[in-house]
């Protein structure tokens, strides 16, 4: 109860009970019959899963949390969804998110806020707050998220769940509504590192439909989790991702995690990543630039909502203008304006060009850090879940919450957030980062903390 009224978590925007029950019954029948078909079932067959509503699904609506796509049905499945169906995971429905995945609190959805199951007056993190809250509230054992600047890991931290951002290109982006294409990755949300690893392995693999898809073997993540062996592993504490701006309770849990890893045989070293200071600035230029281009397709003609202008001629420009004015929320408009400005002739070199240079410097910081350490560690977020509405009219304060998660996206490296205990009754997340294609190292270290 909040302010005398009953509220729910509101993790789901759409529930597909019938379809999920049908898949579950199918798996049941196969198991009962036994034989070769039963033996061939995926270990996650029959385990229900929730899907972030940025990932397109045939037969279920996809809104991206935006009024622009209200009632829109995709004519095809995202590659990850095709894989879920092939492995017979019942798809429970679609989860809430900040509109087009822009936000860190799930307060920017056109369909209402999602609440944190640990304290319903607080945010569940974002943009994938719906997926994280569904898993934390035991409404789903597994979920899919997307992570452009932390939207799987930060909600994981805020809700005490495990969230993984795979190496860029490891999981197909085909059918994930693009936010910032060079940063977006789909990844797993789960209650344990083993569940996350199994889901991650299931959705990974080369896809000719995604031009940035990696080829090669899917890493053996579940095996890494089962070993959970960190003896001799060099774990690098990122100097720049602690201290100022990080809550005391978060740092206390972080230092306990370091102690636990040390006790398990890991060697804790410190690494210096001086360019991280500029990561947030670079991200909030690159991300809006790419988003402004990706969202140009919502023109009132090709997809979803169309709002006709009042009076005057029905030119394409005016239909586009009235549709976008009504269909997009404030945060999305803010970023489109920022992005188109940064990309405009005359400013391109000063803004977008500089941001791309910073991106290279951050990659070089990681390269140097990974000569001293096998895996890096930091708090996932500087704070625990904050109260709903707290950062409503301060976009900059909201952006600052992403300081620890953004560098991994800029460099394309994998990251994993695991629960690291509580501070004043609220979950704290610990983040592990590994070199490109070395996701297994992050899972191995994450499992050691479980």
First to last CA, the chain: 32
Told to check if 147 binds ligand GLN by CB under 6 A, we report yes
- Compute the least distance from the CB of residue 24 to ligand GLN, in Å: 30
> At its nearest, how many Å lie between ligand GLN and the CB of residue 265?
33
Nearest alpha-carbon partner for 240 in 215, 281, 272, 193: 272
At which residue do the structure tokens 């806020």 appear? 113
Q: Does residue 427 touch ligand GLN according to CB under 6 A?
A: no
Based on its alpha-carbon atoms, the radius of gyration of the chain, rounded to whole angstroms, reads 21
Does residue 159 bind ligand GLN (CB under 6 A)? no
To the query of whether residue 74 is one of the catalytic residues in this protein, the response is no
For 153-168, the DSSP string reads HHHHHHHT-EEEEPPT
Q: Considering the rule CB under 6 A, would residue 151 count as an interface residue with ligand GLN?
A: yes
Residues 6+ apart with CB under 8 A from 428: 157, 249, 250, 253, 254, 379, 384, 419, 420, 421, 422
CB of 355 to ligand GLN, least distance (A): 14
Residue 301 phi/psi, 5-degree rounding, is -115, -50
The answer to whether 239 is a known catalytic residue is no
Q: Does 104 bind ligand GLN (CB under 6 A)?
A: yes
* Interacting positions 387-426 with ligand GLN (CB under 6 A): 402
By CB under 6 A, tell whether 148 contacts ligand GLN.
Answer: yes
Catalytic site residue from 16, 151, 381, 417:
151
CB of 38 to ligand GLN, least distance (A): 39
- β-pairing verdict for 142-147 and 49-52: parallel
CB of 349 to ligand GLN, least distance (A): 23
Catalytic residue among 104, 127, 131, 292: 127
Binding mask 270-289 for ligand GLN (x = CB under 6 A): -----------------x--
DSSP state letters, 61-81: B--TT-GGGTT-BBSS--HHH
For position 290 contacting ligand GLN by CB under 6 A, the verdict is no
**Rounded CA gap, 337 and 341, in Å?**
6
Kindly tell me the sign of the dihedral angle through the C-alpha atoms of 53, 55, 56, 57: negative
Nearer to ligand GLN among residue 48 and residue 150 (C-beta): 150
Exactly one of 140, 179, 186, 230 binds ligand GLN (CB under 6 A); which one? 179
378 as an active site residue: the answer is: no
342 binds ligand GLN per the rule CB under 6 A: no
Prior bond of 116 cis (ω within 30°) = no
Applying CB under 6 A, which residues contact ligand GLN?
Answer: 101-104, 127, 146-151, 179, 287, 402
Q: What are the residue numbers of the active site?
A: 52, 127, 151
């Amino acid at each position: 109860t909040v302010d005398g009224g009953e509220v729910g978590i509101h993790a789901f925007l759409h529930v597909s009970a019938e379809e999920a029950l049908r898949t579950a019954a199918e798996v049941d029948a196969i198991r009962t019959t036994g034989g070769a078909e039963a033996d061939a079932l995926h270990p996650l067959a029959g385990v229900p899963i929730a899907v972030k509503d940025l990932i397109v699904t045939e037969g279920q609506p996809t809104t991206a949390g935006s009024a622009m796509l209200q009632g829109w049905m995709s004519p095809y499945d995202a590659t990850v969804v095709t894989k879920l169906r092939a492995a017979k995971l019942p798809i429970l429905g679609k989860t809430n998110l900040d509109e087009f995945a822009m936000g860190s609190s799930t307060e920017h959805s056109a369909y209402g806020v999602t609440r944190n199951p640990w304290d319903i007056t607080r945010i569940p993190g974002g943009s994938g707050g719906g997926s994280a809250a569904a898993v934390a509230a035991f409404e789903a054992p597994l979920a899919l998220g997307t992570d452009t600047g932390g939207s799987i890991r930060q909600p994981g931290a805020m809700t005490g769940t495990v969230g993984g951002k795979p190496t860029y290109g490891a999981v197909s982006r085909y059918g994930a509504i693009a936010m910032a294409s060079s940063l977006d990755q789909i990844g797993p949300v789960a209650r344990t590192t083993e569940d996350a690893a199994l889901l991650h392995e299931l959705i990974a693999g080369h896809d000719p439909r995604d031009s940035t898809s990696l080829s090669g073997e899917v890493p053996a993540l579940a095996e890494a989790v089962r070993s959970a062996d960190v003896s001799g592993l060099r774990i690098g504490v990122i100097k720049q991702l602690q201290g100022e701006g990080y809550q005391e309770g978060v740092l206390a849990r972080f230092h306990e995690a370091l102690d636990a890893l040390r006790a398990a045989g890991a060697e804790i070293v410190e690494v210096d990543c001086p360019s991280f200071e500029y990561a947030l600035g670079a991200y909030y230029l690159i991300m809006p630039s790419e988003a402004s281009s990706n969202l140009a397709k919502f023109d009132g003609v090709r997809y979803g909502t169309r709002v006709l202008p009042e009076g005057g001629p029905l030119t394409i420009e005016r239909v586009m203008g009235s549709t976008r004015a009504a269909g997009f929320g404030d945060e999305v408009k803010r970023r489109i304006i920022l992005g188109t400005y940064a990309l405009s002739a005359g400013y391109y070199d000063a803004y977008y060009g500089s941001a791309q240079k910073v991106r290279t410097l951050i990659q070089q910081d990681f390269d140097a850090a990974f000569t001293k350490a096998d895996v890096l560690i930091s708090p996932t977020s500087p704070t625990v879940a904050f109260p709903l509405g707290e950062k409503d009219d301060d976009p900059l304060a909201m952006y600052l919450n992403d300081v620890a998660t953004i560098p991994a996206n800029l460099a394309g490296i994998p990251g994993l957030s695991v629960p690291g205990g509580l501070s004043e009754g609220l979950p704290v997340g610990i983040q592990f980062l590994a070199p490109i294609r070395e996701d297994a190292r992050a899972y191995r270290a994450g499992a050691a903390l479980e």
